[in-house]
Amino acid sequence: MIRKILVANRGEIARRVFRTCRNLGIATVAVHSDADDRAPFVREADFAVRLPGDAPSETYLRGDLIIAAARLAGADAVHPGYGFLSENADFARAVEEAGLTWIGPTPESIEAMGSKIRAKQIMAEAGVPVLDVDIEAVTHADLPLLVKASAGGGGRGMRVVESLDQLDGELARAEAEALSAFGDGTVFVEPYLPMARHVEVQVLSDTHGTTWIVGDRDCSIQRRHQKVIEEAPAPHLSDTARETLHSAARAAADAVGYRGAGTVEFLVDGDRVLFLEMNTRLQVEHPVTECVTGLDLVAHQIAVAEGRPLTGRPPAPSGHAIEVRLYAEDPADGFAPQTGRIRAFDLGGTAFDIPRAPALRVDSGVEAGSEVGIHYDAMLAKVIAYAVDRPSAIRMLDDALRRGRVHGVTTNTDLLRAALNDEEFIAGRMHTALLDQRIDDWTAGVGERAVRKAALAAAVCEAAQVAASAPVLARIPAAWRNVPSGPRVRTYRRGRTEYAVTYASQGHRLVSDHIENVSVLDARADHVLLQDGGLRETYHVAIGDGVVDVSGPHGAFTLDVVPVFVDPAEAVAQGSLLAPMPATVVAVAVEVGTEVRKGDPVVLLEAMKMQHTIAAPAPGIVAALAVSVGQQVTAGAVLAIIEEKEA
C-alpha cells in the first residue's frame, strides 16, 4: 500500500494528483523551484521540498534532487505527472533503484517508446501502420515534410518543410530547439498530412496481462503542433477507423509490455490510420476521458503501481466532453507568451472533479495573485465541459469562457471562443491545419462595438470613483465643471488599438456620445449600467494602476490607460526592435553594420520553453545591438536598432 506520494512536477498536474491522493487517504509531497515558492500546488501539498533555482534544468529536471527530496520527506512512491521527467527511463529506473514505487510504465517501456524513431520500428514489427521517410533520400515527391524531435513533443523541435532548399535550415533549427527542450537534438522527418485528424487512444494496463482500451479523443485543433482543443469521444469516426485505432493501440501496448496509463496517438485520414507516437504517461487532456467514462485515471495509475488487477471491463463512453487549454499568450501577436501577475481568475465550475452529470470542470495551476513567469509552460488552465451530447458541450464551454474573468495577462480566450463557434468545428470537420486556415478569423477578437462599450464603462466608472472618493464636494456630479468647457477624454489601449472615450456631466448623470445609441444609465465605483438600443447591460469594473479590468455580457477585457503626457525618458529610438515578452537571448544573428532585409532574423529569444525569432520589420542597417547571448531581457526592452539605409 502506497502511503505517501511525491509528485515530481508542478502546477496543474501536481494539484490534479494531490486531489486523488486526498480522496484515497495518501499523503502528498511537492517539490518546487524558487519561482514556484508561493504557487498553489505547493500550499496544497502536505509536505514540500525546495529545489534551489528557477530554470527546469536546475530543478524539475534534476532527478537526483527529486529522489533526495522523496527520501527526506519519507515518500514511498513518485508520480511524474506529464512533461519534465515523466518519460525519462533513467529517472524511472533511479526511482525504483532507490526503493521507491514508480507510478508509471516500466523503464524498458519508456525506453522503447522514448525515441520516436525506435518506436516506429517497434510498431511496424507489431503490424501497426506507420508514417516513414528516409531522411537521406528525400525527394520533391515526399513534400511537404514535418521535422520532429525524436526525444520530445509539445510542438518543440517541430518544423514544416515546404521545399527541399528549406530542409537543411529547418533541420538545424529543430535540432537546436530539441536540444534545448529535451537535452537530445536527434530529429527525423515524416510526411506532413495537414488535412488529417489527430486522434489518440487511452490505454490502461495492469501487471496481470489485462489491457483496457478506455476510449478515444480528437486533438486536431492545434497551433504550432501543440494541442489547443481536445474532446472525447472523437466525433464522426467511421466504425472501421475506430476499430482500427483501438486494435492498433492494443497491439502497441502489448508490443512493449505496457503497465499503467498511456496514450497511443495516430493520424486519421478517412479510414486510414497511421501511428504517430506513444506517450508513456498521463496526457494533459485526460480529463475528457475521465468525464465520459467516470474513471479516475490517476487512481487507476496508483492501483496498478500497487499491483492491483484491472477487473471487469472499462465503462463505455457516455455523453461528450470538450477541453480547451487556456494559455497566457497573445494569438494576434504570433502567440507570443505573456507574463505578469494574475489579478482575477474566475472561470466557475469545480476543480479537478469527475462529474456524474453535465458540469463544468476547471483544472488550473494558478489563482488570483499568481505570477506567470518565463520559465515554464504558458498554460494557465484546462476548462472542460461535460454534457449529454457534443452540441450541448460546445454551448456550455463557450458560455463559460464568455462569463469567465481572467485579468492580468493576455490569454487566448477570444481564439478559443472563435474556434468553438466555427462552422467547421461545430460540424465536426476538424483537421490539424484548421487553425492555420482560420487564424485570421479566429484572432480577429470580439467585435469593435463590444470593446468600445467596455472602454466607455471603464471611463465613466473611473470618473464615478474619483467623484465618490473626493475629500470635499463629494456630492458634485462626476466630471462636473463650474465653467463651460468641452467634454473630458479618456484614452485606453487594447492590443495595438486605442479607444478615446469622451464623456461629460448632464445634471447628475454622466453622458457620452462615444457609441451611437449607447447611453449611460448608472455609473458607480465598481459597476456601470449601459443601455444599447433597448437592451440594458451591466459591466463590472476593477480599476488598477494604469489598467482597468472590465467584465460584461460580451466577455472580459483588460484596457491599458494611455497617459495624457508621456515622459520623454521613456521614449525609444526610431527603428528599435523590442522584446515582446521577458525571455532569454539564445542567439544574435547580426552584428552592428549588418545589412538586413525585411523578415531576416535578428535575435532569437526563448521563453516558456519555446523559441521566438525577432525579425527585421523592414530593410536597413543594424545601427546598434543592446543584447548578447545568455542575457535575460524584460518585456519592452530594446534588443537592436535598425536604421533605414538612407539614414
The residue extents of the domains of the chain are 4-103, 132-191, 197-442, 450-561, 568-643
State pLDDT tens for residues 359-404: 999 999 999 999 999 889 899 999 999 999 999 999 999 999 999 9
Q: What gap in Å lies between CA 233 and CA 322, rounded to an integer?
A: 9
Average confidence (pLDDT) over 311-328: 96
Domain 450-561 has CATH 1.10.12: no
pTM value? Answer: 0.86
Q: What gap in Å lies between CA 271 and CA 88, rounded to an integer?
A: 34
Q: How confident is the model at residue 582 (pLDDT cuts 50, 70, 90)?
A: confident
pLDDT at position 508, please?
66
Q: Which CATH architecture has domain 132-191?
A: 2-Layer Sandwich (3.30)
CA distance readout (Å), 167 to 140, 172, 261, 418, 432: 11, 9, 36, 34, 21
Q: What gap in Å lies between CA 286 and CA 293, rounded to an integer?
A: 11
Percent over 90 (pLDDT), the chain? 68
Q: Is 53 left (phi over 0), alpha (psi -120 to 50) or beta?
A: left
H or E segment to which residue 203 belongs: strand 197-205
Residue 343 gets which letter from DSSP?
Answer: S
Query: What average pLDDT does the chain have?
Result: 91
CATH class as words, domain 568-643: mainly beta
CATH class as words, domain 197-442: alpha beta
Q: 603 or 225: which carries more pLDDT confidence? A: 603
State pLDDT tens for residues 431-478: 999 999 999 999 988 889 999 999 999 999 998 888 777 666 556 666
Place of cell 502506497: 2
Best CA proximity match to 20, nearest among 37, 38, 2: 2
Q: Is the pLDDT of residue 644 over 70?
A: yes
Q: Is the pLDDT of residue 67 over 80?
A: yes
421-425, 513-517, 551-555: the lowest-pLDDT one = 513-517
Q: In residues, how long is the chain? A: 647
Residue 608 gets which letter from DSSP?
Answer: T
Residue 130 gets which letter from DSSP?
Answer: B
CB 399 within 8 A of CB 374: no
Q: Which of 110-114, 151-155, 200-204 has the highest mean pLDDT?
A: 200-204
* DSSP string of 556-579, one letter each residue: EEEEEEPPSS--GGG---TTEEE-
The grid coordinates listed for 549 are 479590468
Best CA proximity match to 31, nearest among 83, 3, 67, 2: 67
Q: Is the pLDDT of residue 310 over 70?
A: yes
Burial 421-432 (b: 16+ CB within 10 A, else e): ebeebeeeebbb
Cα 340 to chain centroid, rounded: 15
Q: How confident is the model at residue 525 (pLDDT cuts 50, 70, 90)?
A: confident
Q: Is the pLDDT of residue 485 over 70?
A: no
Best CA proximity match to 180, nearest among 579, 629, 635: 629
4-103 CATH choice from 3.40.50.20, 3.30.56.10, 3.40.50.720, 3.10.20.30: 3.40.50.20
Angle (nearest 5°) at CA 318 between 317 and 324: 85
First to last CA, the chain: 74
Beta strands in 285-417 (DSSP E): 320-327, 329-330, 336-337, 340-341, 344-346, 350-351, 359-364, 371-372, 379-387, 405-407
